Chain A
Amino acid sequence: MSNHAVSTKPTWAGGKSPFKISYGKLMMWFFLLSDAFTFSSLLVGYGAVRFSFPSAEESVPAEVQTWVKHNVVPFKTDNHEAFHDHGFVESMQMKGVFSESHWPAPDMVFNHFPGTHLHLPLMFVSLMTFILILSSVTMVLAVEAGQRMEKNKVQLYMLLTIVGGFMFLGCQAWEWTMFIGEGAKLFTNPFGPVTFAALFFLVTGFHGFHVFSGVVLNIIIYLNVLRGTYERRGHYEMVEKVGLYWHFVDLVWVFVFTFFYLI
């Protein structure tokens, strides 16, 4: 157990860590970089398809837009008298607000909030964003506590992060349920072009699966923290590694939010 031959090697030949981090963390960074490329392709592809269609404001006549503003925005979306016997989506189709020839405005599509029928555009998805940002903070607090070797704090913040992850997944399930309930499928879309629904399910589904994987990884690491594995190992770097993954999931959501709900 005397001196290793390794240490005499130059830095770039395996003598030292050239990036000054452990190999596991370095590989996590490079995995995330490749995952960033995957998500970039999906999101930029979505952006390209979206911009190849005209927007609602360009295609819907001005008097219809005024009608929508006065009848939809201040009132309830479902069962409102302005829609007569038709539902919200069907009325919008009849008015030409939703049509296959142009991209729908996101505030007309994502306007539901649990427990109310009011027209609340983008409010639910903002809540989802808030939940994910908050779980990112608890994750980074767990990492910070790990750096100080405070097992109890790591435990607490890891648990909060897992709860946040489940809350986000629940929100996404509800969002999908509403969207599917109104008739959106992979190959049909009452709100506009079919590619809109197809890419929505593909990209938010791919992101949601990342969140799910992140929650599973967090639970595994949380159980290891409980068992004292990292206390014995002498460092909490595994918490840092899953932390990197979890923050990346939050980062991707920033762009899913931007592209699908704002643009």
Chain B
Amino acid sequence: MAHQNKTVDIHDEENYDPTVWVPKAHSHGTRALWKTFWLLLALTIIDVVLYFMMDPGMSRNVTFIILGIVKAAFIVYVFMHLTYEHKSLKMSIVLPMIGVVYLIVLLLKEADFWNYLNW
């Protein structure tokens, strides 16, 4: 077994052993990370400001959900490095989440009807 051999090259794609293989790690710098931090902070402050500036209602709620999705996208793409991953991985993670967006729309519509029924 390759992982019992101390001299095995863990990055070797030709001699691929799934138990030890890792791609070569390289840093992408810290600039984008700090930029994302300030962006997340700014969006959170905007959230709180909008809470008091906008009238309560559906348009304010939709604004909050959109801002939340923007924040989540920056966390996933920059902090979790999804932007540097292979396209197949990106698709495997992002595409299933579209179903959740559909779930939000579906259940909000449904809840509106429960309200109408005055359960």
Contacts and interface: CB of A to CB of B under 8 A. Distances in A.
Interface of A: 1, 3-4, 6-7, 14-23, 26, 29-30, 33, 36-37, 40-41, 44-45, 47-57, 105, 107, 122, 126, 129-130, 133-134, 136-137, 139-141, 143-144, 146-148, 234-237, 240, 243-244, 247-248, 250-251, 254-255, 257-258, 262-263
B18 A14 contact: yes
B75 A141 contact: no
Nearest to A148: B27
Given A17-B18, A251-B72, A44 B13 contact: no
- Considering residues B18, B22, B55, B76, which has the most beta carbons from chain A within 10 angstroms of its beta carbon? B22
24 contacts: A1-B5, A6-B18, A19-B86, A19-B89, A19-B92, A20-B89, A29-B92, A33-B93, A44-B104, A47-B111, A48-B107, A52-B112, A126-B44, A133-B37, A144-B27, A147-B26, A147-B27, A240-B81, A247-B76, A251-B75, A255-B72, A262-B51, A262-B61, A263-B61
B115 A237 contact: no
- Considering residues A41, A235, A263, which has the most beta carbons from chain B within 10 angstroms of its beta carbon? A263
A36 B71 CA distance: 15
Given A33-B96, A255-B72, A21 B23 contact: yes
Contacts of B14: 3, 7
Nearest to B5: A1
Contact of A15 (B16, B30, B96, B108): B16
A122 B28 CA distance: 35
A10 to B, nearest CB: 12
A40 B100 contact: yes
Nearest to B107: A48
Given A48-B108, A257-B47, 14 more contacts: A6-B17, A22-B21, A26-B89, A30-B92, A40-B100, A52-B111, A52-B114, A57-B55, A133-B37, A133-B44, A144-B29, A248-B80, A250-B79, A258-B68
Interface in B81-119: 81, 85-86, 88-89, 92-93, 96-97, 100, 103-104, 107-108, 110-112, 114-115, 119
Interface residues on B, range: 35 or more
A4 B112 CA distance: 60
A262 B66 CA distance: 13
A254 B72 contact: yes
B34 A137 contact: yes
B56 A105 contact: yes
A81 B28 CA distance: 58
B115 A52 contact: yes
A250 B79 CA distance: 10
Given A133-B37, A147-B26, A255-B72, A44 B103 contact: yes
A26 B33 CA distance: 22
B25 A147 contact: yes
Nearest to B88: A19
